[in-house]
Amino acid sequence: MATTFGVLAIFLWGALALLGNLTKSIPTFQLLFMCFAVSFLLLFIKRVLTKQPLFTPPSLSKTQTIIGIIGLFGFHFCYFMALKYAPLIEVSLIVYLWPLLLGVFIANSCSRINAIIGGFVGFIGIVLLITDGSGINISSQNSLGYLFAASCALLWSSYSFLMTRFDNHVDDIGWLSLYVALLALLAHLYFEPTQLNFSSAESIGVILLGMGPVGGAFYLWDSALKRGNKSLLASLSFLTPLLSTVMLVFAEQISFSWSVVVALVFVLAGAAISNYRRAEIVESAR
């Protein structure tokens, strides 16, 4: 069941582009603040429905809280900064090194080679999907953006890896969401003008983002990392941009390309390589 939660989180992240189109006119950090505020409210909705005390404090230590804030806020901050200084294609490709890094981080000495090979195969699929066979134009002028994008990959893979080692309750994601929302609000007030009027589509988009890819998915991911098949989840994380593309195709916002099919083959092949004979490897490692 925990692995299923992780797959659902990946599916929700795949919906980010589609839902993001509903809110693209909202200033970036203002949107991030609103989404994480919704994520924080999910904690109280869950506690009301399960008849738990509303204000039970988080179980994270100070160090764990700092790591959680750096992971959640740092990733989004670096991603938005990367888009300011480098093109979307290159940024996306660098950011999607995180499943490869996560697979290597969680692998033991016996399965690390499989994780590296499988991760590269999955990453090739993402390269083909994002570039659509048109190639990549790396420029030294975009080096700052590349640095921010690489920071994204390192931050999210490290956050995901470290959360597997924490014994905190999943409710703590709600408290981390509050901290991230406050930091996003500060960033918004410093970097951006404030939008006060929202259309009904924008309001629905904010709520869905907070319940899904920019909020609710983090609760699912936390639970999956602690109790699910981490190696499989790292491999399947490459499906995120693929799912995003498929959703946009079905919503008729972009045209279908055979690169989607090719990317799917590479991602599934990479997952198979990363998890090949995993049971035997784990048993021998014991």
Cα 286 from Cα 280, distance rounded (Å) = 10
Encode pLDDT of 168-201 as tens digits: 888 899 999 999 999 999 999 999 999 999 999 9
User: Is the per-residue pLDDT at 283 higher than 50?
Assistant: no
Question: What average pLDDT is seen over the chain?
Answer: 87
CA distances from 274 to 61, 104, 233 (A): 33, 10, 10
pLDDT of 192-226, one tens digit each?
A: 999 999 999 999 999 999 999 999 999 999 999 98
Q: Tell me, what's the pLDDT at 134?
A: 66
Domains of the chain, by residue range, sit at 2-112+135-228
**More confident call, 210 vs 135:** 210
Q: What is the pTM of this model?
A: 0.87
User: Per residue in 225-280, pLDDT tens?
Assistant: 988 898 889 889 988 988 888 888 888 777 777 788 888 898 889 888 887 764 44
